[in-house]
Amino acid sequence: MFVDRAKIKISAGNGGNGAVSFHREKYVANGGPDGGDGGRGGNVVFQADRSMDTLVNFRYRYKFEAQNGQPGGSRRCSGKSGEDLVIRVPFGTIVREAQSGQIMADISTDEPVILAHGGRGGAGNQHFATATRQIPRFSKPGLPGESFEVILELKLLADVGLVGFPNVGKSTFISVVSAARPKIANYHFTTLQPVLGVVRLDQDTSFVMADIPGLVEGASDGVGLGHDFLRHVERCRLILHLVDVSGSEGRDPIEDFEKINFELANFSADLAELPQIVLANKCDLAEPEQIEAFRSYIEEKGYPFFAVSAATTQGTADVIRYAAQKLQELPPVKHFEPEFVAPDPTAALTDRSFTVRKENDVYIIDAPWMEPVFSVVNPDDYESMQYFQRVLRSSGIIDKLEEMGIQEGDTVELLDFQFDYVR
């Protein structure tokens, strides 16, 4: 099954929390803090795989999560970092951030690309000992990993795109000039997915050709199959435009030529600028007058023209030689530059927004950013609660409570934990 578009959610691993631990050894008194740091969360890495040619693996799976970092241990032992999650995709896959549609990466080389970075591990209590605070009973939480909903979009890596109306002979042509063996039959839409073929002139000269199916009038607006497959022309450096010059389908070749070019331009202005070679196919079935009239029209517009017959291979070798020569003058296959700028992963720490409401004499604080802070606070430890109170004060939560008239002994609720307010 050919699938060239999929939506998935990728989540890097969270950093492990720092540990609260104290050195314990026989005959050694007053062991100091030795809580280790948490491990870093695993990254989400995209890797191009030459053995893949479809995104069907992502059709029935939505969530991809890397491993979390492990919490720190005693004796200054750091937690194990989470393993990276490597997602393999076909060469030429574009990754877009789903909400903005901006490009995050173009997976068209062998280099792996990190798209979601794992969270940094939290610091253990070994880092918080001072001359006046020799037994810190708190540590730092690990930071969350990056998470994105992304759209995977396959754009085939081909030098030459073969376009034209259905049943003009594209499948026959690519089967003649390359090793590709698409389905060939005398009816429309025999090709239901792009077909790649390597065209080899000699040991040192070759290029990749893609048969782009489904182009009909209105394709750029979603008619037929063209809307699904026009994206595969975008990387091409050169277009071979096949036209049935014999009119065997009852259509006019000049109208066919103009309609396909309109669809290309309507889909993307860049496609309209790509160099084209026009092939008058089925010339063995056409009258000489039909060929010459079409030749005159095309050459007047400045396009190279070849009369060919894919069925009999007439003129195909000349086209391939000319295309190979033309490709040497053109820039390499298009690479899409990233547009998306990931938000600062520490933004959640600096954005200390909160709300306070009073219900049934209980002051309820809603501050999601407090969750990782509170997870490493020991309510039974005085110094740990002092640290917790400093966070409440520096964030403005205590000022807000006092503004609302809180009194000593009143109940405060935060993250389903209730405690009495103490000045």
Query: What's the number of domains the chain is made of?
Result: 3
- Going along 37-177, which residue ranges are E strands? 44-49, 63-65, 85-90, 93-97, 103-107, 113-116, 147-154, 160-163
3-state secondary structure of 101: coil
* Residue 342 within a domain: no
Domain that holds residue 355: 348-420
Question: End of a domain among 111, 139, 155?
Answer: 155
Instruction: Output the pLDDT for position 330.
Output: 92
The tens digit of pLDDT for each residue in 152-170 reads 998 877 899 888 888 888 8
Angstrom CA distances, 386 to 136, 272, 390, 422, stand at: 10, 67, 6, 11
Q: Which residue has tokens 């040192």?
A: 204
Residues 132 and 177 in one domain: no
Residues 131 and 205 in one domain: no
Q: Is pTM, for the whole model, over 0.85?
A: no
Instruction: Output the pLDDT for position 30.
Output: 63
Measuring CA to CA, which residue among 23, 300, 323 is closest to residue 159?
323
Residue 225 pLDDT greater than 50, yes or no: no
Residues 403 and 311 in one domain: no
Pair 253, 168: CB distance under 8 Å = no
Instruction: Output the pLDDT for position 211.
Output: 85
Q: Which CATH number does the domain housing residue 373 bear? A: 3.30.300.350
Residues 360 and 410 in one domain: yes
Terminal Cα distance for the chain, rounded: 67
Question: End of a domain among 155, 172, 199?
Answer: 155
Q: Which CATH number does the domain housing residue 134 bear? A: 2.70.210.12
Q: How far apart are CA 105 and CA 336, in angstroms?
A: 8
Residue 136 pLDDT greater than 50, yes or no: yes
Residues 15 and 144 in one domain: yes
Q: Look up residue 76 and give its amino acid.
A: R
Instruction: Output the pLDDT for position 317.
Output: 93
Instruction: Output the pLDDT for position 321.
Output: 93
Average pLDDT in the 85-94 region? 94
Angstrom CA distances, 13 to 42, 217, 369, 410, stand at: 5, 47, 18, 39
Instruction: Output the pLDDT for position 228.
Output: 60
The tens digit of pLDDT for each residue in 57-67 reads 898 899 999 99
Average pLDDT in the 194-199 region? 80
Instruction: Output the pLDDT for position 184.
Output: 43
Residues 256 and 322 in one domain: yes
Q: Which CATH number does the domain housing residue 224 bear? A: 3.40.50.300
Q: How far apart are CA 282 and CA 161, in angstroms?
A: 19
Residues 102 and 27 in one domain: yes
pLDDT band at 349 (very low <50, low <70, confident <90, very high): low
Residues 128 and 170 in one domain: no
* Residue 375 within a domain: yes
Residues 124 and 227 in one domain: no
Residue 222 pLDDT greater than 60, yes or no: no
Mean pLDDT, rounded, of the chain: 85
Higher pLDDT, 348 or 92: 92
Q: How far apart are CA 291 and CA 280, in angstroms?
A: 7
Average pLDDT in the 303-314 region? 94
Question: End of a domain among 125, 155, 185?
Answer: 155
